[in-house]
Structure 1
């Protein structure tokens, strides 16, 4: 999981937005619309990043349809220290 997190958050253009999404979800579960509003991002941008995070098993969804809520997977929660190290590395750059 550590390698996947480094790739998703630093090896791709969308890394900074994915970090913002993960930080928001660690606070509380949210749906795509809430994330778009809270992070001041376009809804389609948020949906794209949610799809990438879900594909790499960083998040999962609960519910269905428009109100689908996203949460961190247990694996990401166990590796949250890695996410914090990635954030520190990116802030130093």
Structure 2
């Protein structure tokens, strides 16, 4: 079943690019890479903020929606990979 997946940002418009992907296809792979890259960058950013120790609770709360979205996508990627391997 196809689903709309984030492929990252379009360099020309600066907007997110989405595509309907098929499991194992090129666009699916691109979406998986985007999800993992996004999670890696977000993890590093939040790690630096936490390590700095000077962010307020309100400032830290700004990261929660982005972290949730990123974690959800990575969990979905992992589930699809595991499902494909079985």
Q: Which has the higher helix share?
A: 1
Q: Of the two, which has the highest radius of gyration?
A: 2
TM-score greater than 0.5 by the shorter chain: no
Return the TM-score normalized by structure 2: 0.34
Return the TM-score normalized by structure 1: 0.32
Q: Which has the higher contact order (CA 8 A, sep 6+)?
A: 1
Q: Which has the higher strand share?
A: 2
